[in-house]
Structure 1
Amino acid sequence: MESSMLTFVLLCVVWSNVAAIEVKIPEQVYEAVNGSDTTIPCKFETSVENPQSGVISWFRRDLNSSARNELILTYYYPDKIFDVAENVDAKGFSIDADLLNGKADLIIKNVEMEDNMIFECRVQIRGDIDGTNSNSATLVVLVAPSTPICEVQGNPKNGEDIKLTCVSNEASPPAEYKWQSLDAQNNPRDPEPKSTDNGGVLSLFGITTDTSGTYTCTSSNKVGSASCSLTLSVTP
């Protein structure tokens, strides 16, 4: 009796696992270079053999956890057509779907910084209402740093403390900054012992006429780099 009961329980577990839809997106994060085309894959398995009808929907939402989903498009089977939501650029999104083979890939054309969002794939198959019918992934749009702006903060007089600032207004992921300098004779030199170079801000303490020269800041990330320079003249 116990053996029969155990067999029955195991069969129930197997049936419950099979009779359920499961939607998967292979990775949690996808990256795309600004201006390129990219695809977010979505795969699914259903317990319904040769489904007669189904609906695939893609949504997006801001990275803010409290943001609400916004519909992008909806694909219908067996019609094999999709509609793009009214407030979405119809030329920017399409879908590569094959409902019988569990494929529902979202295609995004000419990605922009505004596409840094969470994208959700949702699949509904008639006759398969249990399981996990949606999954999501984050799209990170990569942008090379824009030409940084170099500025001097403070009075460049002998004995004063000043800061040299460097900022790229655009960069994804955020840019990293590094300052380098040449002396008045255009020879490379090591950073001054008391100086600090942090987040694009080069702090110089107790400057002297020897601090004068050309200072170059390089802004870089995994996509590219850019630089700016300024000439510092310390007055007595």
Structure 2
Amino acid sequence: MEPTIARSYGALFIILAGVASGLEITSTGPTFIEKASGQSVMLDCHFTLAPEDSGPLDIEWSLLASDNQKEDKVMILFSGDRVYEDYYPPMKGRAHFNSADPKNGDASINLTGLKSSDSGTYQCKVKKAPGIRSRKMALNVMVKPSKPRCYAEGPTEQGKDTVLRCISNEGTNPLRYNWEKTSDTKLLPASAVLDPVAGTMNVRNASAIYSGTYRCTASNRVGSEECILQLNITPPPNTAGIIAGAIIAVLLILIIIAIILFCCCRARHRKKYEKEICNEIREDVPPPKSRVSTARSFTSVGSQRSSLGSMSPSNLHEYALKPQYDKIPSSEEYDRPPSHAPLPPPTAPKMAGPNLSRMGAIPVMIPAQNRDGSIV
């Protein structure tokens, strides 16, 4: 009984294996593909069917999860003579079957507008009962290097050490940098030390012959970009001249500051002196004369005229020169109202004798008097 059952299971396994061997994947292309971002790629998956494969044809493309804990993502599907392309939103509109009718044995797909996030392992699974076959391919989407930036770091003087740098901000590693000279002898300096990974070229003890045009190329497996640098090694500066010029400039600045301070001090002193002069009280200035009434003024003028008529020419001259006051008026006299203030004696103009005779004056002899009024 048991041998019979064993023989029955063996025959069934042979039959199923024969049936399953009818469906085959015939693609022999590379299973690892590298492409640059923005490019397109075709994932090859051709198959053949056998007469024993009589079930419905199903073709499924999926992006396998890198972590076993995650679920595979179905990208595009052919089932029931229909194509379903919108299974995976990140690939929407970018994944299409290569053939308009995949039933003819071409299950390949085209991916357009590749992104770095499209990198991963893709699986093509063809099912037509009872046959099932699949094929896996790894896709690595690399970013092409962006245009690098070239510049010189450090002094570019004779006898100094100069570093030429080349940096590309974008690009999938590994990135490599290469420096070359494109002018004159097209030979790099003998003292240059290159670092293809960091993109630097150290030039020690720079010389004028190192001046020229240099080109740096950044590259990876999917593309390259380059930049140009113009290096100019200059003679060392005249240190003595710079120091002398700095000293002269400092001295000029100090002189200008000193002049400004001197002018400010002088102007301040002059202003202070003028203020003191304005506030000073002059003691030698005589007080103002008191005003008299108009009537008394006329009376005095009349008496003066009559006196002049009785004076001789010689006495007129003596009268004019005789002082009228013997002392300075006191403060009480200054405070006296103008109506009570005594009038100063009028001063007669000096006139010659002939002139007075023409005017009708009569000479009169006036005895001389002293200061107290007594006759001498």
Calculate the TM-score normalised by the size of structure 1.
0.70
Answer whether contact 1:72 1:88 (CA < 8 A) is retained.
no
- What is the alpha-carbon distance in structure 1 between the residues aligned to residue 180 and residue 189 of structure 2? 11
SS of 1:103's partner is coil
For 1:148, the equivalent position in structure 2 comes to 148
Q: 1:38 aligns with which of 27, 36, 41?
A: 41
Q: 1:65 to 1:210 in 2, by over 3 A?
A: farther
For 2:194, the equivalent position in structure 1 comes to 197
- Compute the RMSD of aligned alpha carbons: 3.8
SS of 1:104's partner is coil
Q: 1:119 to 1:70 in 2, by over 3 A?
A: same
Q: Given the alignment of the two structures, is residue 127 of structure 1 paired with residue 110 of structure 2, yes or no?
A: no
SS of 1:88's partner is helix
Q: 1:231 to 1:25 in 2, by over 3 A?
A: same
For 1:169, the equivalent position in structure 2 comes to 169
For the pair shown, the structure with the greater C-alpha radius of gyration is 2
Answer whether contact 1:148 1:169 (CA < 8 A) is retained.
yes
Q: 1:103 to 1:120 in 2, by over 3 A?
A: same
Which structure has greater strand proportion? 1
Q: 1:24 to 1:198 in 2, by over 3 A?
A: farther
Could you tell me which amino acid in structure 1 is paired with residue 178 of structure 2?
K
Comparing 139-148 with 13-22, which one deviates more in the overlay? 13-22
SS of 1:177's partner is strand
For 1:117, the equivalent position in structure 2 comes to 120
- What is the alpha-carbon distance in structure 2 between the residues aligned to residue 46 and residue 144 of structure 1? 41
For 1:6, the equivalent position in structure 2 comes to none
For 2:107, the equivalent position in structure 1 comes to 104
Q: Report the alpha carbon displacement of residue 122 of structure 1 after superposing the two structures with TM.
A: 1.8
Could you tell me which amino acid in structure 2 is paired with residue 19 of structure 1?
A
Comparing 12-21 with 51-60, which one deviates more in the overlay? 12-21
Q: Given the alignment of the two structures, is residue 55 of structure 1 paired with residue 58 of structure 2, yes or no?
A: yes
SS of 2:17's partner is helix
Q: Report the alpha carbon displacement of residue 105 of structure 1 after superposing the two structures with TM.
A: 1.0
- What is the alpha-carbon distance in structure 2 between the residues aligned to residue 14 and residue 163 of structure 1? 74
Answer whether contact 1:218 1:227 (CA < 8 A) is retained.
yes
Comparing 118-127 with 149-158, which one deviates more in the overlay? 149-158
Q: Deviations over 1:45-103 (max 9, x none)?
A: 455635332322212258x6879533212221x33222422423421112246564433
Q: Deviations over 1:146-170 (max 9, x none)?
A: 2111133444455444432223334
Could you tell me which amino acid in structure 2 is paired with residue 203 of structure 1?
N
Q: Which runs of 5+ in 1 are unaligned?
A: 1-8
Q: Deviations over 1:89-122 (max 9, x none)?
A: 4211122465644331112123334333322212
Answer whether contact 1:19 1:46 (CA < 8 A) is retained.
no
For 1:73, the equivalent position in structure 2 comes to 76
Answer whether contact 2:74 2:88 (CA < 8 A) is retained.
no
Answer whether contact 2:54 2:128 (CA < 8 A) is retained.
yes
The higher relative CO (CA closer than 8 Å, separation ≥ 6) is in 1
Q: 1:65 to 1:189 in 2, by over 3 A?
A: farther
Q: 1:119 to 1:223 in 2, by over 3 A?
A: same
- What is the alpha-carbon distance in structure 1 between the residues aligned to residue 152 and residue 180 of structure 2? 15
- What is the alpha-carbon distance in structure 2 between the residues aligned to residue 37 and residue 189 of structure 1? 38
Comparing 200-209 with 24-33, which one deviates more in the overlay? 24-33
Could you tell me which amino acid in structure 2 is paired with residue 206 of structure 1?
N
